[in-house]
Amino acid sequence: MACHEFLLGLGDFEYVLTVVGLLYVAKVVLQGLWETINGVRAHFWSRLWDKRLVDTYGKWAVVTGCSDGIGKEYAKELAKRGMNIVLISRTLEKLQKVSSEIVQEYGVETEVVQVDFIDGRPIYEDIGKHLQDKEIGILVNNVGVMLSHPMEFELASEKDIWSHVNVNVASVPAMTKLILPGMLLRGKGAVINIASIAGCYPIPLMGIYAATKAFVDYFSQALEWEYRGSGITVQTITPAYVSTNMTKFSELIHKPSVFIPTAPTFVSSAINTLGYARRSSGYWAHGIQVYLVENFLNSWIFMYGNYMWNSLLLRNMKKNQAYQDFQY
Ligand SMILES: NC(=O)c1ccc[n+]([C@@H]2O[C@H](COP(=O)([O-])OP(=O)(O)OC[C@H]3O[C@@H](n4cnc5c(N)ncnc54)[C@H](OP(=O)(O)O)[C@@H]3O)[C@@H](O)[C@H]2O)c1
């Protein structure tokens, strides 16, 4: 039976329901197809092309929170592609170690800036002095903190509150404000903002972290829209779990796997998406997770699921601690 004959044979109510159902299926299929094409372009096609970052964006890259984890790998990957690096982070010895590794391995210039982003507004004058007279081509707003483990808000300390505000939130527009004017004058540059899948919906027991990442995501997407056509690329990266110090409180999210890449695996993928995706998870397996979360979950299901998941992580962490205490 042809489709139109089938539809004509239905009653009015069934007809309306069938058409609505078919339209919904068509929307899901087309959306899935579109996301798949974009995903393949960002994560696989992009790898085939040599990226001339210095020519496209400028000589120097600035990476915040670069002495460990994702930031350290961004600094190394950008240096590998010939960029000089301004390394901004908190612990001087770690900064110096990363700096000498980069100079030795890639033969580029580095400049070390030791600041604690918790200190807020006063640090940006000092950072600005280090950036003067440099052609900054790429800014990676990476620095971020998270609660030491999932917890109810009343257990978070004053320091937790101000570090989330000053490190995760304030640093992103403040660093961008320092660097964007120079990029606009030159008509080229890229700002990469590291948000998180955690910013897609609120997350109980990690509420303050998720809220700061929603800020980064929204700010970054708005910035991208404002500077389209100016020569400036603004990219938002929304990773899921990456095996770094941030996830070490529970082996369930620290042990590397296909869905929990190490920082080098994650960044070698994420860096290729620059210029190929305005907003990307950075890594193909995280792309599937973000797609499912944003298209098939609502905030209630996401919050319920994350409340249960964070409670499980907390129990797992306590069990491991009890085991370790028992060993000693
Ligand atoms: N890991 C994940 O699963 C994950 C998932 C999604 C998004 N992200 C985001 O990715 C970014 C990097 O996370 P990560 O996992 O690489 O974290 P990480 O391994 O804990 O590294 C954080 C880096 O930031 C520096 N830092 C922390 N607080 C600072 C402060 N107050 N002032 C200056 N520097 C400071 C640290 O310096 P020290 O060396 O001195 O500690 C370190 O270099 C964050 O924005 C995070 O929210 C991470």
Residue 311 has pLDDT above 60, yes or no: yes
Q: Given this model, what pLDDT does residue 7 score?
A: 67
List, in order, residues 6 or more apart from 65 with CB less than 8 Å away. 71, 88, 89, 90, 117, 142, 143, 144, 167
**What pLDDT shows up at residue 112?**
98
End-to-end CA distance of the chain: 75
Predicted local distance difference test score (pLDDT) of residue 9: 73
Question: Which residue's CA is the nearest one to ligand 1's atom 39?
Answer: 67
Q: Is the CB of 281 under 6 A from ligand 1?
A: no
pLDDT band at residue 323 using 50, 70 and 90 as cut-offs: low
CA 278 → CA 70, 83, 119, distances in Å? Answer: 19, 22, 31
- Phi-psi category of 190—alpha, beta or left, where left has phi over 0 and alpha has psi -120 to 50? beta
Mean pLDDT of 46-55: 88
pLDDT of residue 326: 56
Give the residue, out of 62, 63, 67, 171, with the most ligand 1 atoms within 8 A of its beta carbon, to mutate for a pocket test: 67
Rounded distance, CA 211 to CA 304, Å? Answer: 16
Least reliable range by pLDDT among 35-44, 56-65, 208-217, 257-266: 35-44
- Whole-number Cα distances in Å, 128 to 86, 179, 192: 11, 9, 19
Q: Quick check: 107 pLDDT over 60? A: yes
| Whole-number pLDDT of residue 46 | 87
Res 3: pLDDT: 66
Q: Distance between CA atoms of 321 and 313, rounded to whole angstroms?
A: 12
Q: Which fold has domain 53-319?
A: Rossmann fold (3.40.50)
In the predicted structure, residue 31 carries a pLDDT above the cut 60: yes
- Catalytic residue list contains 291: no
Give the DSSP per-residue string, 55-83: HHT-SEEEEES-SSHHHHHHHHHHHHTT-
Catalytic residue among 57, 74, 209, 276: 209
Task: Name which of 82, 87, 200 is nearest 140 in CA terms.
Answer: 87
Out of 66, 70, 237, mutate this one to test ligand 1's pocket (max ligand atoms within 8 Å of CB): namely 70
Under 8 Å between Cβ of 197 and 238 = yes
263-270 vs 69-80: helix crossing angle, rounded to 10: 50
47 pLDDT band, cuts 50/70/90, is: confident
Please write the tens of the pLDDT for every residue from 63-102: 999 999 999 999 999 999 999 999 999 999 999 999 999 9
Q: Are 150 and 207 in contact (CB under 8 A)?
A: no
Inform me whether the pLDDT recorded for 49 exceeds 90.
no
Other CB atoms closer than 10 Å to residue 295's CB: what's the count?
Answer: 11
pLDDT at 294 over 90: yes
Q: For residue 151, report the distance from its CA to the centre of ligand 1, in Å.
A: 19
Mean pLDDT for the chain? 94
pLDDT digit string, tens, across residues 139-179: 999 999 999 999 999 999 999 999 999 999 999 999 999 99
Specify the pLDDT at position 44: 86
> For residues 255 and 182, what is the distance between their CA atoms, to the nearest angstrom?
41
Residue 175 near ligand 1, beta carbon < 6 Å: no
| 91 CA to centre of ligand 1 in angstroms | 12
Return d(Cα 193, Cα 216) in angstroms, integer.
Answer: 7
Q: What's the gap between Cα 254 and its chain centre? A: 17
What average pLDDT does the segment 242-268 reach?
A: 96
Among 245, 257, 283, 310, residue to substitute to test ligand 1 (most atoms within 8 Å of Cβ): 245
User: Residue 18: which pLDDT band, with cuts at 50, 70 and 90?
Assistant: confident
Q: Is the pLDDT of residue 267 over 60?
A: yes
Q: Which amino acid is at 143?
A: V
91: Cβ below 6 Å to ligand 1? yes
